[in-house]
Structure 1
Amino acid sequence: MKNILIVLGIILGIAVFAAGSGLFKKTKPNVVEVKKENEKIMDNKNVREIYFAGGCFWGTEHFFQQIRGVVGTEVGYANGNTQNPTYEEVVSHTTGFAETVKVKYDPEQVDLKLLIDLYFKTIDPTSKDQQGNDRGNQYRTGIYYTDKNDEVTVKEEVQKLAKNYSKPVLVETIPLKNFYRAEDYHQDYLDKNPGGYCHIEPGLFEMARKANPLPKPAYQKQDKKVLKEKLTAEQYNVTQENGTERPFQNEYWNETREGIYVDITTGEPLFVSTDKFESGCGWPSFSKPITKGLIDEKMDRSHGMTRVEVRSKTGDAHLGHVFTDGPEDKGGLRYCINSASLKFIPKVEMESKGYGKYLPLLDKK
């Protein structure tokens, strides 16, 4: 099927090209830019690679391009017995090559096990040398690895998935012996030819786009209605209505234990005890937040004064103000923060309450 379409496409292309239509330049918007960006990412030393043979590589490549965490793809011919084969040589069934997609992925965004699981949804793993309407040994299925550490993952995952089938699974799980890039017209084929032939059911592309969604942020801004029920009246007044609690009559002004101070509205860490100091003002005072990216600073001209307000970036809660009369040896700033905007987590509870990774911050002097 694919061979016939290729021949017809070439004939049509020559005719239209002669008429000056520029058909061969047709691509989706931003395809070139996306490819260039992917090439940059593919240079990242943390990026891993794996090779999937799943029938016609046009559809297999397009499928993997939909998955978040896949940062680069390339179609080619793998594990054959000649060098630099052409497409015509591969389809002659004399070279032993399989149509294969080189997949580069960021393991911090997508797990190899998920890639394998999704790949199985695009193939009949019990079929020998046939996927969809395509027949021939170049359409055999396989997962080829270049990193010895991937061998166990690949084999174990395929064995696990094989339990879902009544017939033997014929997917090869072997090291990559060789791989040669296919001709340019095969690369990103379905991007250039949206209506082109594909053995993969179209709905699977949408499934791939949704299969690895961005994780929800650990800390999220809360609705004011929720906060009104969750917070005390003073906490709500301070964080949502820019109120100010009384000095020397608040929970943490004289707190001296080791620990971490988090946003009362979201639980996001903001300050640590090692940056807290006694300022004499009657409110908790810190020389700096854990990182500047956790807060927003805004000009405040209320009450006939000019001050710099401090708000939590994620929760958008009013915290207090920052002044330039802090200790010089600590940077000269004083973050004067309302206790009502904070929740203190003692050091002994940080691990159990999910703040264990911040414990090293308490070791600094």
Structure 2
Amino acid sequence: MTSNEKNEVAVLGGGCFWCLEAVYLEMRGILHVESGYTGGQQPDPTYEQVCAGSTGHAEVVRLEFDPALVSYRDLLEVFFTIHDPTTLNRQGNDVGTQYRSVIYYQSPEQEAVARKVIAEMANVWDGPIITQLQPPQTYYKAEDYHQDYFRQHPEQGYCAFVVAPKVAKFRKTYAERLK
């Protein structure tokens, strides 16, 4: 797939970026997935600084996608399937504001779609949806060793016990959306 002017960008935070990245890399219509940080105050944060929770950044994935092949709504439906949008600043054992559930919309159209999907998710989840909806923020690409992490380290403990089950759930639930 190639990049063109009709492609769109989505920025999503739902816990550790390795989990989201691994799933979206398998989804049809996704042209590029990049792990990074956004939503904080400190310029050029490092992974260690973000993990310490002092920069205000969230771990996010930045997705470039072809809306002719996959809709923003589809991306959000998958997002709400592969993380828990009812836990404040937590995904499993990952705790802190850097692991918050957040959607950084990139346009008024994305904001409207996100609001609608969040409202619909209130009927799916048992607890209230705490996912934040934020305008675009300065985005920083994470260090190179975080990119494509799951594919490079599938046997690493976190990948085997946390990331792999999310990928398996995606494959089972959304088989038709695979490449």
TM-score by length of 2: 0.90
Larger radius of gyration: 1
CA deviation profile, 1:61-88 (whole Å, cap 9, x unmatched): 0101111011111000011111100011
Give distance in 1, aligned partners of 2:41 and 2:119.
27
What is the root-mean-square deviation in Å for CA atoms of aligned residues?
Answer: 1.7
Give 3-state SS (helix, strand or coil) of 2:104's partner: strand
Matched, 1:206 2:171: yes
User: Could you tell me which residue of structure 2 aligns to residue 351 of structure 1?
Assistant: none
CA deviation profile, 1:235-279 (whole Å, cap 9, x unmatched): xxxxxxxxxxxxxxxxxxxxxxxxxxxxxxxxxxxxxxxxxxxxx
User: Could you tell me which residue of structure 2 aligns to residue 251 of structure 1?
Assistant: none
Matched, 1:118 2:72: no
User: Could you tell me which residue of structure 2 aligns to residue 165 of structure 1?
Assistant: 125
Letter in 2 for 1:212: R
Correspondence 1:199-238 to 2 at 5 A: 199-200=162-163, 201=165, 202-207=167-172, 210-212=175-177
Q: CA deviation at 1:99?
A: 0.3
User: Could you tell me which residue of structure 1 aligns to residue 60 of structure 2?
Assistant: 100
Give distance in 2, aligned partners of 1:116 and 1:99.
17
Correspondence 1:7-156 to 2 at 5 A: 41-42=2-3, 44-156=4-116
Give distance in 2, aligned partners of 1:139 and 1:105.
23
Q: CA deviation at 1:209?
A: 6.1
Give 3-state SS (helix, strand or coil) of 2:107's partner: coil
User: Gaps (5+ residues) in structure 1?
Assistant: 1-37, 215-365
**1:177 aligned to 137, 144, 155, which one?**
137
Q: CA deviation at 1:164?
A: 1.6
Call closer, same or farther: CA 1:159–1:56 in 2, change over 3 Å. Answer: same
Q: CA deviation at 1:173?
A: 1.3
Higher relative contact order (CA 8 A, sep 6+): 2
User: Could you tell me which residue of structure 2 aligns to residue 265 of structure 1?
Assistant: none
Call closer, same or farther: CA 1:211–1:143 in 2, change over 3 Å. Answer: farther
Q: Is the 8 A contact 2:26 2:178 kept in 1?
A: no
Give 3-state SS (helix, strand or coil) of 1:91's partner: helix
Deviates more, 1:199-208 or 1:74-83: 199-208
Give distance in 1, aligned partners of 2:169 and 2:125.
20
User: Gaps (5+ residues) in structure 2?
Assistant: none
Give 3-state SS (helix, strand or coil) of 1:61's partner: helix
Give identity over the alignment, percent: 34
CA deviation profile, 1:170-221 (whole Å, cap 9, x unmatched): 111111211100000000001111223243424224236614268xxxxxxx
